Amino acid sequence: GHALYIWHCDQAGNYSLYSSDAVAEDYLRGVQVSDSDGKVNFVSVFPACYAGRWPHAHFEIYRSLDEATSAANVLHTSQLALPEDICDQVYATDGYTQSVHNLAQLSLATDNVFRDGVESQLASITGDNDAGYTVRLTVGVPA
């Protein structure tokens, strides 16, 4: 199967490897190889909404796990957007106060990545705050 590398920010809006206090960390990043149906499964936390960006996760797709060791081998790079209604539910819980404020300042139409058409990047989500959420996005991969 193909390898999917995914990463997103933490509850405070910080990224491992990129935020000044986390350059030596690699949390909220992972790689999985797709099964025979092309599916992968990750367990993570819900990312924050930081200033200027709609809540999202980044991902790259590689032909194999071996090829996922070099960005030069990437087949597809994109981001998945999280639906506003689910963001509202999650951000109403403890620890997301800044996300509530940041999300109120944004829309998918004004986000610098998603404003050109979010239809193929908007994830579908089922679940709730107590049981957890399942995030789904179908992505076409070049042959």
DSSP string, 124-138: EEEEETTTEEEEE--
For the chain, what are the domain ranges?
3-136
What is the model's pLDDT at position 72?
95
pLDDT for res 55: 98
Q: Are 7 and 42 in contact (CB under 8 A)?
A: no
Q: How far apart are CA 139 and CA 118, in angstroms?
A: 13
pLDDT at 27: 75
d(CA 143, CA 138): 15
Distances (CA, A) of 103 to 36, 80, 84, 107, 110: 37, 16, 9, 8, 11
* pLDDT tens digits in sequence order for the chain, 143 residues long: 999 999 999 999 988 866 566 566 677 999 999 999 999 999 999 999 999 999 999 999 999 999 999 999 999 999 999 999 999 999 999 999 999 999 999 999 999 999 998 999 999 999 999 999 999 999 988 76
User: Alpha-carbon distance 48 to 106, whole Å?
Assistant: 13
The model's pTM is: 0.91
Domain 3-136 has CATH 2.60.130.10: yes
Whole-number Å distance between alpha carbons of 23 and 33: 26
Return the amino acid letter for 28: L
